[in-house]
Amino acid sequence: MGNINRSIVLSFRDVLLWFTFFIVIGSACFQTQYKFPLLFALFNILSKVIFVTSLILHIIRCLRYKKQFFTKYDILLLLLFSWLVCSSILNGHSWIMQVPFVMKSLSIRYIFTLYTPNRKEKIITILSSVFTFIVYLNFFQLLFFSSIMGYVDGDKVYLISTNYNQFGAVFMPAIFLKIIESFQTGYKRSLILLFVVCVASVAIEGSATATISILLLLLTVVFVKKYFFLKVENISILVGIVLFFFTFVLPVLSIFNVPFVSSFVEGLGKDMTFSHRTSIWIYALFQISYSPLIGYGVCDKEWFQFLLSNAVNTHNVILHFLIQGGGVGLLIFAVFVYIGIKQLLSIQDKYQRELLLTVVIVFFLMSQFEVYTNTFIYIFIFLMFISKEMLTCKFIENV
């Protein structure tokens, strides 16, 4: 009888954890404010309650068991946040909008830590299922209720973003978690299905960069089985990112300004301005040159549009942190990412380590064309930090 009660308690705890993650992640991505403002307000209120509760429980746990209150992740996240606050104050901008980004990221971190001991596989499964469910829900909305979320400035709003180019903010953490889950369980069916839904979602809406990037990951998971080939692929993508950045974003090279590349891009229905992103990057670089060290802080939409010739963001993660925090902000962010990658590289299994690194590299490849909200950037980095802890030396099995 005692075992039955214990099972019921654990089952209820798992369901509660699932809904807790769902509220936090949903409050960070669901675009319900236009057609369903009450639901939007409810998610925001509940996410704040969850943050306060998880923070209190985290403090109690640290005091009771003499655990470290701040991890490297916390310190770097708060350092980056503090610098963005300072830059905002110096430039006369409001930094309040950055607070929810940090709160939601830390909520995931605190909840994860509170639940993790002896339950590594279960919590990965739960968090992965939340992200996967949101991806499927967004796909369902695309297929059957494409206009239910409303329109903003004549553009269609989606369940998880106001622009289909932002889908990767949710898709990439979902893929990262599902790969870890597949390593733990040895099953890949749900991972392949997730990939198919992600590719279909971005392909339907016409996001060439996201479609190619996620399709590349799918082909890698299905066909690349050897560590050596994964490593070659990762090095090739990294070199490509660097060459692309210095050819188009910071144009000091002309490596990709060749007919073959132009023909390939035009074959995707795009042009060599990448939907006018090159113009936005030039405007961003011009503005950064006037405040290269501290940036401009956290700017509102109207100020960004004035600064970047009617664009609402820089469409490049490097320029994003340069314009918000200057060289100092970008340096802090780079250290943040570096330490996350360093944690990932300490995974013992070579194949697991290299495949997860592929996901990270592709995430930053996609971030060369689009800026995701800071919440999901922070959450993705958190997943890098905990990847080693969540994995054992077990090879993934084919089913």
Chain length of the chain: 399
> Of the candidates 50, 73, 70, which has an alpha carbon nearest to the alpha carbon of residue 382?
73
* Band of pLDDT at residue 121, cut at 50, 70 and 90: confident
Predicted local distance difference test score (pLDDT) of residue 100: 93
Predicted local distance difference test score (pLDDT) of residue 354: 96
CB distance 329 to 119 below 8 Å: no
Q: Looking at the predicted structure, is the pLDDT value of residue 165 above 70?
A: yes
> Of the candidates 292, 248, 255, which has an alpha carbon nearest to the alpha carbon of residue 270?
248
Give residue for tokens 């929810």: 100
User: Both tokens of residue 224?
Assistant: 């690349």
When mean pLDDT is compared over 159-163, 289-293, 355-359, the highest value belongs to 355-359
* Band of pLDDT at residue 116, cut at 50, 70 and 90: low
- Residue 163: phi, psi to the nearest 5? -150, 135
User: Both tokens of residue 75?
Assistant: 């310190």
Predicted local distance difference test score (pLDDT) of residue 183: 93
Positive or negative, the CA dihedral 188, 24, 102, 98 is: positive
Predicted local distance difference test score (pLDDT) of residue 55: 96
> Of the candidates 1, 396, 22, which has an alpha carbon nearest to the alpha carbon of residue 174?
22
Predicted local distance difference test score (pLDDT) of residue 4: 38
What is the widest separation between alpha-carbon atoms in the chain?
Answer: 74
Neighbours of 37 (CB within 10 A): 10
Per-residue HEC secondary structure of the chain comes to CHHHHHHHHHHHHHHHHHHHHHHHHHHHHCCCCCCCHHHHHHHHHHHHHHHHHHHHHHHHHHHHHCCCCCCHHHHHHHHHHHHHHHHHHHCCCCCHHHHHHHHHHHHHHHHHHHHCCCCHHHHHHHHHHHHHHHHHHHHHHHHHCCCCCCEECCEECCCCCCCHHHCHHHHHHHHHHHHHHHHHHCCCHHHHHHHHHHHHHHHHHCCHHHHHHHHHHHHHHHHCCCHHHHHHHHHHHHHHHHHHHHHHHCCCCCCCCCHHHHHHHHHCCCCCCCCCHHHHHHHHHHHHCCCCCCCCCCCCHHHHHHHCCCCCCCCCHHHHHHHHHHHHHHHHHHHHHHHHHHHHHCCCCHHHHHHHHHHHHHHHHHCCCCCCCHHHHHHHHHHHHHHHHHCCCCCCCCC
CB distance 75 to 332 below 8 Å: no
Q: Looking at the predicted structure, is the pLDDT value of residue 296 above 80?
A: yes
Predicted local distance difference test score (pLDDT) of residue 366: 95
Predicted local distance difference test score (pLDDT) of residue 263: 58
Q: Looking at the predicted structure, is the pLDDT value of residue 98 above 50?
A: yes
Q: One-letter amino acid identity for 130?
A: V
Predicted local distance difference test score (pLDDT) of residue 259: 54
> Of the candidates 337, 341, 286, 339, which has an alpha carbon nearest to the alpha carbon of residue 311?
286
When mean pLDDT is compared over 84-88, 91-95, 251-255, 273-277, the highest value belongs to 84-88
CB distance 356 to 146 below 8 Å: no
User: Both tokens of residue 292?
Assistant: 């290269």
Task: Taking residues 99-110, report their average pLDDT.
Answer: 96
Predicted local distance difference test score (pLDDT) of residue 3: 41
Predicted TM-score (pTM) above 0.75: yes
Q: Looking at the predicted structure, is the pLDDT value of residue 300 above 90?
A: no
Q: Which residues pair with 156 in a beta bridge?
A: 151
Predicted local distance difference test score (pLDDT) of residue 119: 77
Q: Where are the domains of the chain?
A: 2-390
> 46 or 206: whose pLDDT is higher?
46
Least confident of 124-138, 174-188, 252-266, 340-354: 252-266
Burial degree of 62 (CB within 10 A; 0-12, 13-18, 19+): middle
Q: What is the dihedral of CA 306, 288, 152, 84, to 10 degrees?
A: -110
